[in-house]
């Protein structure tokens, strides 16, 4: 996925089991972030940072959506445990994960496996990708996204 491309639409279940599509956010900016797994240290820090900054996103007219392979129930528990105010979507079939190119080979301690590479996309009101942030750091991702959105607003 590159800047200027139309963001692939998807329809996935949220933490309440309701279907959510990217198309339904047309007219709003969307911060779409893909992460490996609920309740792991990095993913929890990343999600909590987005949660803490969520008011700023709302002021900027942006919605935050997190996507991982975890189940609807896992997302529900994760969101509840950490009071996450934004949308988490379950993608066990890798529909959106593969469409956005974030299902990649990863190396950990010399072992190679396939997995979700932590990546964030900023999508504009017309469904066009305005920023691609690959291999983001969990601790600074939300802050970095907010800086980009604020620069864009000026």
Find the catalytic residue in 43, 89, 116, 149: 43
Q: State yes or no: is 43 an active-site residue.
A: yes
Angstrom distance (rounded) from CA 109 to CA 139: 22
What 14-17 contacts at long range (C-beta under 8 Å, 24+ apart), as own/partner pairs, is 14/72, 14/75, 14/87, 14/88, 14/89, 14/90, 15/72, 15/75, 15/76, 15/78, 15/79, 15/87, 15/88, 15/90, 16/72, 16/76, 17/72
Residues carrying an active site annotation = 43
């Amino acid at each position: 996925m590159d800047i200027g491309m139309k963001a692939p639409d998807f329809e996935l279940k949220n933490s309440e089991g309701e279907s959510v599509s990217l198309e339904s956010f047309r007219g709003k900016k969307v911060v779409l972030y893909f992460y490996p797994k609920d309740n792991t240290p990095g993913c929890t820090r990343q999600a909590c940072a987005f949660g803490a900054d969520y008011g700023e996103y709302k002021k900027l007219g942006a919605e935050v959506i997190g996507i991982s392979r975890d189940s609807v129930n896992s997302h529900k528990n994760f969101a509840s445990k950490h009071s996450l105010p934004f949308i988490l979507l379950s993608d066990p079939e890798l529909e959106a994960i593969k469409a956005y190119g974030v299902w990649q080979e990863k190396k950990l301690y010399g072992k190679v496996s396939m997995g979700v590479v932590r990546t964030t996309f900023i999508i504009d009101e017309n469904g066009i990708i305005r920023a691609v942030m690959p291999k983001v750091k969990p601790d600074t991702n939300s802050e970095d996204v907010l800086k980009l959105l604020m620069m864009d607003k000026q």
